[in-house]
Amino acid sequence: MAVILIVEDDVFIREVAEMLIRDWGHQTLCASDVNEALAILRSPQHIDALFTDIYLKTLVHGGCDLALQAIALRPRLRVLYTTGNTLTDKMKALLVEGTHFLRKPYTQNELQESVKDMLTEK
């Protein structure tokens, strides 16, 4: 089972995601913005994967920037992005290579598939 950092500025969405992911047997950590997430990523805490929203508070590409910094800090980290917005070419260029993407709104089945994919592949 894995340790997954969930970054989502909407508390309800974040907590439902945490609940579902924990139900599948994983351990979760959570942050509501880039800075909180980076603080956790810089800590000695073991983390296997990052599940982040792209649009974080006012930062349109906040999740993309976060993932890039996270990978710089922890090169073996796995990443799953989510957003309700259409992925533009500009956004695609910002995604860390070999990572996964989940469109909002996602059902628990979709989230489960995506988390499974993220943790098994790479």
Summarize as ranges the residues that interact with another protein (CB under 8 A): 10, 12-13, 16-17, 19-20, 23, 55, 60, 83-86, 103-110, 113, 117
In the complex with another protein, the residue whose CB is nearer, 35 or 85, is: 85
CB of 74 to another protein, least distance (A): 27
In the complex with another protein, the residue whose CB is nearer, 86 or 97, is: 86
What is the rounded CA–CA span in Å between residue 99 and residue 105? 19
Kind and range of the H or E run holding 17 = helix 11-23
DSSP state letters, 31-94: ESSHHHHHHHHHSS----EEEEESSBTTBTTHHHHHHHHHHHH-TT-EEEEEESS---HHHHHH
In the complex with another protein, the residue whose CB is nearer, 28 or 83, is: 83
